[in-house]
Amino acid sequence: MARTYDSRKRVLVTGGAGFLGSHLIDRILADGHEVLCVDNLFTGSKRNIEHLHSNPRFDFIRHDVTFPLYVEVDEIYNLACPASPVQYQHDPVQTTKTSVHGAINMLGLAKRLKCRILQASTSEVYGDPTVHPQTEDYWGHVNPIGPRSCYDEGKRCAETLFFDYHRQNGLEIKVARIFNTYGPRMHRADGRVVSNFIIQALAGEPITLFGDGNQTRSFCYVSDLIDGLVRLMESPADFTGPVNLGNPVEFTMRELGELVLKETGSKSKFVNLPLPQDDPRQRQPDISLAKAKLGWEPKIKLKDGLKSTVKHFRDNDFLTSQDLRGRHAS
Ligand code: NAD
Ligand code: UDP
Ligand code: UDP
């Protein structure tokens, strides 16, 4: 979309070299705005943004959001944080710092600039939920001292900070609780279930089903999720969220594995491995609020989204599941 200088926003995307961040940047640039991408490349990759370097409306700064950042922008999407359990448990103290110190710094920046700021929160704030499907008014069931706590409690504290800056400083905030999202540019070795299963299926190796495979997740395709984030950012000032963004169609991990086998035509067999500690048994968003306030609901079915995700992994070099095991062990 062509824009005049006056109607063009300069948008900061932290975590912009990651899976969701890089798709969000593509969308913001396509809408005619300017983007400043800030990322320390912990789980993100320059490869996700290399197609943007010749775009005069795109800038990149390699920076860790746990340190202060003084830049001039009109709007902030705060996505910086590893999202995969394997990655966020790799250096749990840094994960908490990224969520908490990162939020303080980005909120401080938004306060100085008097600009709108959106937080990429997560369904993990509900922990291993006892309410199903999850509604935004559910306070969650979270272990504060387990291996997932660095992420869950870090994200919960970030939400607290967003609402305190809103109440204390009148900041315009938006909080999205994102449920499992998948698609092209997921990191090949980040250990999330969709990428693991596809890589294993393509390599003809066993599909690693943790536990009995009856635990559930609800998978949202990336383009749907990005549309939800942009609608939330553009929603009226009095709508802060938190709002669930995710696809409400729920699958067991075994069903997901079977879909991946079908889509790849792979002869891989399932192998059962121990269920990680505190792994949520079920997860499904209630998206009534997003429908009512944002006019948003996902459009892409899992089998269609898997098709393009499998194509992505087929077309790009990918690590073998042996490399994945190496990542798990390290
Ligand atoms: P990702 O790991 O691909 O992207 C995260 C990005 O943040 C990476 O580019 C990483 O290098 C960067 N980063 C990490 N720590 C940083 C730091 N201290 N300073 C600067 N940059 C840093 O993950 P993603 O799936 O794109 O997730 C993006 C955001 O959405 C995260 O905040 C995540 O918690 C949230 N989220 C994602 C999902 C999902 O299913 N993908 C679900 C819920 C919430
Ligand atoms: N901050 C930043 N960029 C800015 C303004 C603030 O990174 O443009 C950081 C700064 O490190 C500060 C934090 O945001 O510690 C919180 O800012 P705030 O103004 O809320 O609090 P204070 O400056 O009083 O600590
Ligand atoms: N999982 C699995 N095999 C894998 C990776 C994950 O069975 O190789 C399971 C995991 O135990 C969880 C679900 O898939 O129940 C989703 O895991 P993921 O790490 O993608 O995200 P989470 O929703 O747990 O943050």
What would you measure as the largest C-alpha separation in the chain, in angstroms? 58
CA–centroid distance, residue 192 to ligand 3 (Å): 6
CA–centroid distance, residue 167 to ligand 3 (Å): 36
The residues assigned a catalytic role are 151
List the single range of 24-38, 144-158, 309-323 with lowest mean pLDDT.
Answer: 309-323
Phi-psi label, residue 241: left if phi above 0, alpha if psi -120 to 50, beta otherwise: left
Pocket test for ligand 2, best of 72, 111, 162 (most atoms within 8 A of CB): 111
The crossing angle, in degrees rounded to 10, of helices 193-203 and 321-329 is 140
The mean pLDDT value of the chain amounts to: 95
CA–centroid distance, residue 283 to ligand 3 (Å): 11
Amino acid residing at 270: F
Q: pLDDT, tens digit, for every residue of 64-87?
A: 999 999 999 999 999 999 999 999
Coil, helix or strand at residue 268: coil
Residue 284 has pLDDT above 80, yes or no: yes
From CA 199, how far away is CA 293, in angstroms rounded? 38
Handedness of CA 108, 78, 136, 142 (dihedral sign): negative
* Atom 19, ligand 2: residue with shortest CA distance: 108
pTM score > 0.85 for this model? yes
Residue 327 has pLDDT above 50, yes or no: no
Amino acid residing at 38: V
Could you give the count of Cα atoms lying within 13 Å of 241 in the half-sphere of its Cβ? 31
From CA 76, how far away is CA 64, in angstroms rounded? 15
Task: Report the pLDDT value the prediction gives residue 190, as an integer from 0 to 100.
Answer: 86
Task: Report the pLDDT value the prediction gives residue 78, as an integer from 0 to 100.
Answer: 99
Which helix (H) or strand (E) covers residue 165, if one does? helix 149-169
Task: Report the pLDDT value the prediction gives residue 316, as an integer from 0 to 100.
Answer: 82
User: pLDDT exceeding 90 applies to what percent of the chain?
Assistant: 92
Could you give the count of Cα atoms lying within 13 Å of 261 in the half-sphere of its Cβ? 16
Query: Using 50, 70 and 90 to split pLDDT, how confident is the model at 140?
Result: very high
